[in-house]
């Protein structure tokens, strides 16, 4: 499966931690956060985003049934936790991101959503329900944007999650705008009343493409409406934010507590910093490659993420840029990019990331239980990880996504070495082929 011996372990039931780490409502406010992104939101990208100032990170949507089949495996060297399916890693995380990590579920079933959340809850800080993905693999099964027109089901999933999760696990939702503002407010009211901690609004409707301008001007009324409900929950804007500086514009225009960034972070995961990295081929890509290899991120996934990087060149020549890009495009494994990365271990780069993140952790998180979060949890059943295995999840033929969305990383042993280049985004392994219709 991998080059290292892994220990297979159930999710720890009573993890020995020096202190309680959990998200506070405040953590959803005044932030600039990384959006959920299938494939592009891979573990190394989330870690770089956190290193460069993302206040929270959402993992890529994972379909509820997919994670129930997964085997939790811990890499004894790096600490990486992989939830492995039959042919690929469904989802990967590292304990260092846990205090900031929101796990996004794709679901159309309250019970399955709860089982999925219980499966991973010792590795995460919050659970988010995807209510915005308009792609067929999501909507055909009543998930994603299909939930927007089935508010009873949407709210029953959120209510079930809130009741089943312990108080320290936050429950949130990510929606799109409905065509009518009145209908949107009605939906928001119902969602907020389920007891969620934060609501992300992608300021596009289900039929809008990501090339269409996000209609952020509709958000202020929603923010005011939520405030008027007297609920202390965060409203997070999503759509067209370019980075840390631009987030101020978005906040001012919308009144949103926080701003979520997807494509700008896909292009440059350091966009959360007020001084994002320039000359990505020199200053980001080599380090990204080293960290990705060290963490055993599958090469095809690493290659895909790097193919999405775009940035300004200041001290790099076009020729240098081309050399790095072409080397990555041609490479079939980490071994083929040795010339770009220099010393290979990645351990030092990873240590720097860990230090940067841990330096924030002590400031950002409280040891004391947060009464505001507690009050949101009407019930706190600390049930054990479900062992029951659900029916095989089968994505219908003809959809763009042959396996449930997840980290997208095939298991090392199962994946042929001569993988087709997925760099074009046209590979059937890529759940986000161009032209993209984003969630
Ligand atoms: C590659 C990619 C994958 C995405 N995957 C997800 C996903 O798993 N869940 C989700 O809720 N939205 C997903 N989205 C949508 C984004 O989270 C976000 O809502 C959208 O891109 C708008 O934000 P932006 O204008 O900052 O890009 C994805 C977007 C992209 C570009």
CB 402 within 8 A of CB 429: yes
pLDDT of res. 4: 58
What is the Rg, in whole angstroms, of the alpha carbon atoms belonging to the chain?
20
Higher pLDDT, 405 or 273: 273
Q: How far apart are CA 222 and CA 337, in angstroms?
A: 48
Residue 60 CA to ligand 1 center (angstroms) comes to 9
pLDDT, tens only, 56-108: 999 999 999 999 989 999 999 999 999 999 888 999 999 999 999 999 999 99
pLDDT at 365 over 50: yes
Assigned token pair, 58: 């959402």
Residue nearest ligand 1's atom 5 by CA: 37
Q: How far apart are CA 287 and CA 302, in angstroms?
A: 12
Q: What is the domain range of residue 124? A: 24-276
| Cβ–ligand 1 contact at 273 (below 6 Å) | no
Mean pLDDT of the chain: 82
Active site residue 241: no
The verdict on residue 381 lying in a domain is no
Ligand 1, closest atom to CA 308?
Answer: 1
pLDDT, tens only, 316-361: 888 888 899 999 999 999 999 998 888 778 999 999 999 999 988 7
Residue 103 CA to ligand 1 center (angstroms) comes to 14
Highest mean pLDDT pick, 191-195, 319-323, 391-395? 191-195
Q: Helices marked H in 365-421 — which ranges?
A: 371-376
CATH of the domain at 230: 3.20.20.70
CB atoms under 10 Å from CB of 187, counted, come to: 21
The verdict on residue 360 lying in a domain is no
Confidence of residue 220 (pLDDT cuts 50, 70, 90): very high
Q: Which of 362, 256, 270 is nearest to 29 (CA)?
A: 256
Highest mean pLDDT pick, 20-24, 228-232, 257-261, 339-343? 257-261
Element (H, E) at 63: strand 62-63
What percent of the chain shows pLDDT beyond 70?
77
Residue nearest ligand 1's atom 2 by CA: 37
The verdict on residue 227 lying in a domain is yes
Assigned token pair, 118: 């219980």
For residues 405-413, average pLDDT: 39
The verdict on residue 61 lying in a domain is yes
pTM exceeding 0.85? no
Give me the catalytic one of 133, 241, 271, 305: 133
What percent of the chain shows pLDDT beyond 90?
67
| Cβ–ligand 1 contact at 206 (below 6 Å) | no
The verdict on residue 396 lying in a domain is no
Residue 92 CA to ligand 1 center (angstroms) comes to 18
| Cβ–ligand 1 contact at 241 (below 6 Å) | yes
**Would you call 76 helix, strand, or coil by DSSP?**
coil
| Cβ–ligand 1 contact at 34 (below 6 Å) | no
The verdict on residue 129 lying in a domain is yes
pLDDT at 368 over 70: no
| Cβ–ligand 1 contact at 238 (below 6 Å) | yes
Residue with tokens 């409406």: 225
pLDDT of res. 188: 98
The verdict on residue 369 lying in a domain is no
The verdict on residue 68 lying in a domain is yes
Give the total number of structural domains in the chain: 1
């Amino acid at each position: 499966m991998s080059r290292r011996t892994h220990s297979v372990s159930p999710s720890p039931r009573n993890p020995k931690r020096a202190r309680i780490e959990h998200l506070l409502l405040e953590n959803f406010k005044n932030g600039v956060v990384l959006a959920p992104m299938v494939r592009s939101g891979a573990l190394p990208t989330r870690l770089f985003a956190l290193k460069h100032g993302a206040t929270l990170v959402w993992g890529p949507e994972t379909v509820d049934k997919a994670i129930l089949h997964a085997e939790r495996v811990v890499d004894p060297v790096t600490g990486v936790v992989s939830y492995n399916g039959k042919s690929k890693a469904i989802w990967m995380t590292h304990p260092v991101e846990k205090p900031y990590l929101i796990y996004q579920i794709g679901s159309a079933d309250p019970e399955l959503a709860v089982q999925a959340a219980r499966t991973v809850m010792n590795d995460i800080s919050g659970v988010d329900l995807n209510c915005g993905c308009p792609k067929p693999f999501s909507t055909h099964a009543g998930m994603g944007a299909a939930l927007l027109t089935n508010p009873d089901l949407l709210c029953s999933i959120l209510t079930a999650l809130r009741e089943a999760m312990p108080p320290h696990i936050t429950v949130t939702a990510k929606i799109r705008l409905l065509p009518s503002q009145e209908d949107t407010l009605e939906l928001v009211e119902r969602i907020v009343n389920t007891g969620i901690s934060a609501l992300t609004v992608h300021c596009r409707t289900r039929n809008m493409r990501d090339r269409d301008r996000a209609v952020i001007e509709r958000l202020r009324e929603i923010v005011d409406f939520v405030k008027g409900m007297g609920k202390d929950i965060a409203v997070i804007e999503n759509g067209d934010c370019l980075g840390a500086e631009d987030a101020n514009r978005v906040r001012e225009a919308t009144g949103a507590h926080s701003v979520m960034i997807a494509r700008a972070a896909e292009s440059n995961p350091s966009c959360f910093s007020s001084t994002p990295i320039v000359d990505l081929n020199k200053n980001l890509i080599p380090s990204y490659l080293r960290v990705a290899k060290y963490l055993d991120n599958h090469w095809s996934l690493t290659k895909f993420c790097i193919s999405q990087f775009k940035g300004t060149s200041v001290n790099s020549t076009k020729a240098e840029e081309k050399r790095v890009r072409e080397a990555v495009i041609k490479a079939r494994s980490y071994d083929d990019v040795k010339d770009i990365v220099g010393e290979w271990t990645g351990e030092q780069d990873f240590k720097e990331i860990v230090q940067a993140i841990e330096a924030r952790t002590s400031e950002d998180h409280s040891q004391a239980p947060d009464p505001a979060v507690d009050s949101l949890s009407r019930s706190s059943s600390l049930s054990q990880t479900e062992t029951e295995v659900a029916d095989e999840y089968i994505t219908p033929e003809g959809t763009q996504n042959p396996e449930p969305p997840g980290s997208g990383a095939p298991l090392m042993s199962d994946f042929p070495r001569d993988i087709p280049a997925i760099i074009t985004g046209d590979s059937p392994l890529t759940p986000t082929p161009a032209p993209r219709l984003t969630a």
